Amino acid sequence: MAKPAPARSSPKHRSTAAQKAKSKPAPKAKPLTARNCDRHVLYQRSVQAPETDARFYSRWFTKYTGRPLRLLREDFCGTAVLATHFVKLHPENRAIGVDLHWPTLAWGRIHNVRPLLNQEQQSRLTLLQKNVLDVRRPLADAILALNFSYSVFKQRRQLAAYIKNCFRSLKPGGILFLDAWGGPDVLQHKTDKTRHKGFTYEWEQRRFDPISHDIECAIHFSFPDGSRLRDAFVYEWRLWTLAELRELFVEAGFVDVHVLWEGTDRASGGGNGVFRRKEVGDMDEAWISIVVGKKPG
Ligand SMILES: C[S@@+](CC[C@H](N)C(=O)[O-])C[C@H]1O[C@@H](n2cnc3c(N)ncnc32)[C@H](O)[C@@H]1O
């Protein structure tokens, strides 16, 4: 989900032309308002780029491991839109989406899985209403935990248990990907607004405690008629640092733990959507990166 990161863009925050075309309202659709909108639709349009992400992680996995990514587990999958697109990518792709919240999974089944996948493709996607800490089988080629969702684990021992569980859930040679965010901009009390067709996406950084690193953020949507859907999504997280994440990966047993850092677009100064392995990051105002670890074998 969720950081708009005006200064940075990552695969998940960019929409492909195809998605943009699909997400255009029908010509005679009523103007969006806080009353008639669907928060999941607006979230997907504002924050996610599932086709791009599915391709990015598949390609990266193949380049790194020399074999295709065929069994993907998407933790904290929400509406499972990424898992859905991963299944569409190849006739041998299988995906498991895990989320605690059944109404969100049910929304994803109705609005993403059924419209986008035929019966055969649907048989290759499993959605589990479970805690990510409790799922271990089948062993996956790769696990994705995106849009910083693991940040719900605020205690070190909780996040350590999650990363260890991912390690146990991977095949030998399997890969865990977690995305991360940071930079001085993230610590500011502010609301960033991004205009989309028919609505404005608002990302509020509401509270940050420098002692515990607890951070509270919220997504609101506002509309041309002046209405506003406040607190469409609220996140109470801990802001984890890349140093902590890397240490936890190593403690769990992962090897070749490293960071994919997003390059900078010269013209805008923002992210350019190109993620490369880097040992030393840049002093960017806001950044998004991906922590990668490999299970030996
Ligand atoms: C920020 S959303 C992420 C949605 C999606 N992955 C994305 O990239 O936009 C976080 C999701 O994590 C789920 N969640 C939170 N804690 C969980 C847990 N312990 N186990 C499984 N799902 C959890 C919530 O229900 C919610 O749907």
| Assigned token pair, 191 | 């609301």
> 30 CA to middle of ligand 1, Å?
31
* CB of 100 shorter than 6 A to ligand 1: yes
CA angle 163, 168, 171 (to 5 degrees): 120
> 148 CA to middle of ligand 1, Å?
9
* CB of 146 shorter than 6 A to ligand 1: yes
* CB of 161 shorter than 6 A to ligand 1: no
Q: Which backbone phi and psi does 142 adopt, to 5 degrees?
A: -150, 150
Distances (CA, A) of 295 to 3, 19, 154, 255: 29, 34, 24, 6
Q: What is the pLDDT of residue 27?
A: 62
What is the C-alpha to C-alpha distance for residues 59 and 45, in angstroms, rounded to an integer? 23
Taking only the tens of pLDDT, the chain with its 297 residues reads 334 333 344 333 333 333 334 455 556 778 999 999 999 999 999 999 999 999 999 999 999 999 999 999 999 999 999 999 999 999 999 999 999 999 999 999 999 999 999 999 999 999 999 999 999 999 999 999 999 999 999 999 999 999 999 999 999 999 999 999 999 999 999 999 999 999 999 999 999 999 999 999 999 999 999 999 999 999 999 999 999 999 999 999 999 999 999 988 888 888 888 999 999 999 999 999 999 999 999
Q: pTM of the predicted model, to two decimals?
A: 0.91
Ligand 1 nearest-atom number relative to CA 131? 20
What is the C-alpha to C-alpha distance for residues 94 and 1, in angstroms, rounded to an integer? 22
Ligand 1 nearest-atom number relative to CA 132? 20
Q: Are 181 and 285 in contact (CB under 8 A)?
A: no
What is the C-alpha to C-alpha distance for residues 175 and 257, in angstroms, rounded to an integer? 10
> 151 CA to middle of ligand 1, Å?
10
* CB of 101 shorter than 6 A to ligand 1: yes
What domains does the chain contain, in order, with CATH numbers? 11-18+46-184+239-294 (3.40.50.150), 186-236 (no CATH)
| Assigned token pair, 16 | 């492909």
Of 231, 227, 173, the residue nearest 199 (C-alpha): 227
